[in-house]
Structure 1
Amino acid sequence: MDENILGIIAGILTSVSMIPQLVKVLKEKNAEDLSWTMILVLISGLSLWVWYGFIKDELPIILSNAFAVIVNIILLICCMIYKKSK
């Protein structure tokens, strides 16, 4: 398999991996079971991948991880809105 195709498939799968969680949170308006720390660490790691993609001039890395950053920022915002204060 061509390495570019492999990278594109991997990027698509990892980019959309959090969409079901986001849909669930939006539908139920409940983010109690989500970890803020996990989301923040994930956003940080994905942002570093975007930076790495720019350094290596690799568009699939940039696009897939930038999309994932956006999805996870939306999820973080939902956490802020829907998490009940204890």
Structure 2
Amino acid sequence: MPASIELIGSVAATITTFAWLPQIIKILRDKQTSDISWGTTGTLAAGVLLWIIYGLFIGSWPLVLANVVTFLFIATILGLKLRYG
């Protein structure tokens, strides 16, 4: 695969993975999670977990790594929802 395509994928993975940080920071600052949907966040976590499994099957470590970090961020949000919900 050309390096330019890999670069696009890497930038996309970085942006979508770290897009969760502002949400985590807001929750920690406000200690409020009533606007966070259990259903949406739980469904997203399940989908990301499936991306991790898929990445393992096809041997794509960038895909696995990006989704592991994303899953950890989403799990953090769910944990904070339990705490502050």
Q: Fold-level match, TM-score > 0.5? A: yes
Counterpart in 2 of 1:54?
56
- Moved runs in structure 1, 4+ residues, more than 6 A? none
RMSD across aligned positions (CA): 1.0
- Unaligned stretches of 5+ in structure 1? none
Q: Which runs of 5+ in 2 are unaligned?
A: none
Identity %: 27
Partner in structure 2 of residue 45 of structure 1: 47
- 1:24 corresponds in structure 2 to 26
Number of residues of Structure 1 aligned to a counterpart in Structure 2:
83
Q: Which amino acid aligns with 1:14?
A: T
**What amino acid does structure 2 have at the position aligned with 1:11?**
A
Residue in structure 1 matched with residue 69 of structure 2 by the alignment: 67
* TM-score with structure 2 setting the length: 0.93
Counterparts of 2:30 and 2:66 in 1: how far apart (Å)? 27
